[in-house]
Structure 1
Amino acid sequence: MANLLVRGVDDALVQSLRELAAAHGRSSEAEHREILARALRRPKRKSFAEVLMTMPDVGEDADFQRVDDAGEVARVFD
């Protein structure tokens, strides 16, 4: 395994790390490893294009055409 040295960390962050580690019953180093692992092992988010490609092909284009409403506001909740 590799080592990681982080310099110039704000004292308040170090204290928060110590408190979080104590709350979880582990060392600051173990808590730091856990935080890094959670942050970096998240599943990759899909792009907007990838999400669109997963949508099923339903309906015809005409089903989604705008209806000419002559400028009147639709009464949706009546």
Structure 2
Amino acid sequence: MANLIVRNIDEAVVVALKKRAGQHGISAEAEHRKILEQALLRLPRKPFAEVLRQIPNVGNDSDFERIQDDRASQIFD
């Protein structure tokens, strides 16, 4: 693994990093690694509208209407 040194960080950023690390119960260094991994290695999320557009058209709404079956209610009574 490589080492990374970051210099000239604003004190407010350092304080926020330490606070966040404390909330997660890890060291500031571990929190720093976690933030970098999340920012750089996670795949970008697609907007919900784009996901919906990718759903194939599989029929009309009426094809999926719920039919009331009285027999099911008799079984569980």
Deviation at 1:43, TM superposition (A): 1.3
Identity of matched residues, %: 54
Runs of 4+ that moved beyond 3 A: none
- The letter for the 2-side match of 1:13 is V
Unaligned runs of 5+ in 2: 55-77
Task: Determine if the alignment matches structure 1 residue 9 to structure 2 residue 9.
Answer: yes
Determine the structure 1 residue equivalent to 2:28: 28
TM-score by length of 1: 0.56
Measure, in 1, the Cα distance between the counterparts of 2:25 and 2:45. Answer: 32
For 2:43, the equivalent position in structure 1 comes to 43
Q: Specify whether residues 44 and 24 from structure 1 end up closer, same or farther in structure 2 by C-alpha distance, changes over 3 A only.
A: closer
- How far the C-alpha of 1:45 sits from its partner, in A, is 7.0
TM score, norm. by length of structure 2: 0.56
Q: Any gaps of 5 or more consecutive residues in structure 1?
A: 56-78
Q: Which whole-Å CA distance do the structure 2 matches of 1:18 and 1:31 have between them?
A: 8
When the two chains are superposed, the root-mean-square deviation of aligned CA atoms in Å is: 2.1
2:18 corresponds to = 18
